[in-house]
Amino acid sequence: MTTNHLAFLFFTFVVGFVLFSALLLLLRKRPWCSCHVCEAYLSSSWAAEFDNLCDWYAHLLRESPTGTIHIHVLGNTVTANPANVEYMLRTRFDNFPKGKPFSALLGDLLGQGIFNVDGDAWRFQRKMASLALGSVAVRSYAFGIVSDEIRRCLLPLLSSVADRGDGVVDLQDVFRKFAFDTICKISFGLDRGCLELSMPMSEFAAAFDTASRLSARRGTATAPVVWKLKRLLNVGSERELKRAIRMINMLAEEVIRQRRKQGFASSHDLLSRFMGSVEEEDKYLRDIVISFLLAGRDAVASGLTSFFLLLSRHEDVAAAMRDEIASVTKGDGDDVVSYERLKEMHYVHAAIYESMRLFPPVQFDSKFCLEDDVLPDGTFVSRNTRVTYHPYAMGRMESIWGPDWGEFKPERWLRGGVFTPESLFKYPVFQAGQRVCLGKELAMVEMKTVIVSMVTKFDFKVLQGGRTIKFVPGLTATISGGVPARVTRCVSRRLP
């Protein structure tokens, strides 16, 4: 009894000491501010006028003369100024790394994966990924997988939905499952049916969503010491995050085990190329697997979901796309258009870019300033300050896109009928500079192939399509409540 009593007293003392230390740190950091922006953030009063935090940020950035604002309680400078973006991502790249604070936020989930590291570790992974993704053999391999998944799974699923009574399906859910299957094959050379998992794949997907949401929540905390303390004590949201990451690790371990079992010396998938070039450390390979899943499932699914949501509201765009597709394919009737013919579809390409201008899969990205600096718009940034560029807000800036920024107009990307991209520093949906997305072309080809295959055979009417779009907090844009849509066969393609 005495031993238990002493143990209880010791535990109470430790917890009390930790809480007292946290309070002192909190007071020293002074995570509050009396300016109207910080007060609105802390009180959440912005929610009375805006449905999403990103929409409030976009409003503030449009109102700012420089396109830059400060959220003092977060120690964060947020910008939608293309000159600042170029300065951070190219001109002064070395002074704006991801930084240790950012790595700490996402470290439990992403580990030392390419999205969460700087320096030599980042350069090595980027070099490996560049060699793989730049390979003609890998691109051909990936296109073959996407085409096969469309023929075998996606189109039959949509056909069955269209032919049943209500014809309703959640497009977001469909795209997330499709993207997960394709990324497993492209990145790991595995069909998820071959994985020997202890629970249904849906539970692993839910764990990934939970980990993304809770990791992102860390970045919105005005006092990081709070989530760090919760992690130390293994309570609340941090306990939930730990449980989700444990499940994700089980999935990664099974992927690695299966890849080793099947061999990787002559395989074209991305994981095999990494495994053949480095000493096989499971922790390192685990971080690679998670990075591929994040980019390949969430980003692609987000891009496709927002595209069909917008397309449902703009029948004229759907009609123009079908006209271009018919002109290019000349009605050959193939379920999947060839890679070469996809390149000729400039209007389709423009429509995808326009969709991601308004709804980028990754709404913002943060760096940390190493040494005191001054951005091109005159904003002083002190060392260790978080600096965020905001693609979601940038797509809504009149100073960048003109007074019609709120309109869905694929034509803004066409010059004489030919797709003409803008500077990536005006449109950093795929990042820009030295960290520009290496999977950009692969993602565009996958989305373009899916879209062309779907719009030529089906019409999609999003139910309550005029409702306000609300996003679930996370590392990529996910629409709350999904995107339920009624699927019908196109009249011109209706079967007898």
Q: Can you say which residues are annotated as belonging to the binding site for heme?
A: 437
Dist CA 98 CA 19 (whole Å): 29
**Sign (positive or negative) of CA dihedral 46, 49, 52, 58:** negative
Backbone φ/ψ region at 76: left (φ over 0), alpha (ψ -120 to 50), beta: beta
Look at strands 76-79 and 373-374 and give their pairing: unpaired
Half-sphere exposure of residue 256, counting CA atoms within 13 Å on the CB side? 21
Look at strands 68-71 and 76-79 and give their pairing: antiparallel
CB 103 within 8 A of CB 116: yes
What residues are paired with 471 via a beta bridge? 479
Dist CA 157 CA 258 (whole Å): 28
Alpha carbon of residue 401 to chain centroid: 23
Dist CA 177 CA 153 (whole Å): 10
Look at strands 76-79 and 386-389 and give their pairing: parallel
Tokens of 327: 């002109």
Candidates 402, 399, 376, 398; CA nearest to 387 is 376
Phi, psi of 489 (to 5 degrees): -75, 145
| Residues annotated within a binding site | 437
Backbone φ/ψ region at 255: left (φ over 0), alpha (ψ -120 to 50), beta: alpha
Phi, psi of 275 (to 5 degrees): -65, -30
Sequence-distant (≥ 6) Cβ neighbours of residue 438 within 8 angstroms: 126, 129, 130, 133
Q: Helix, strand or coil for residue 476? A: coil
Q: Helix, strand or coil for residue 381? A: strand
CB atoms within 10 A of CB 155: 18
Residue 344: its H or E element = none
Dist CA 91 CA 177 (whole Å): 39
**Sign (positive or negative) of CA dihedral 169, 170, 171, 177:** negative
DSSP string for 274-319: HHTTS---HHHHHHHHHHHHIIIIIIHHHHHHHHHHHHHH-HHHHH
Type of residue found at 195:
L
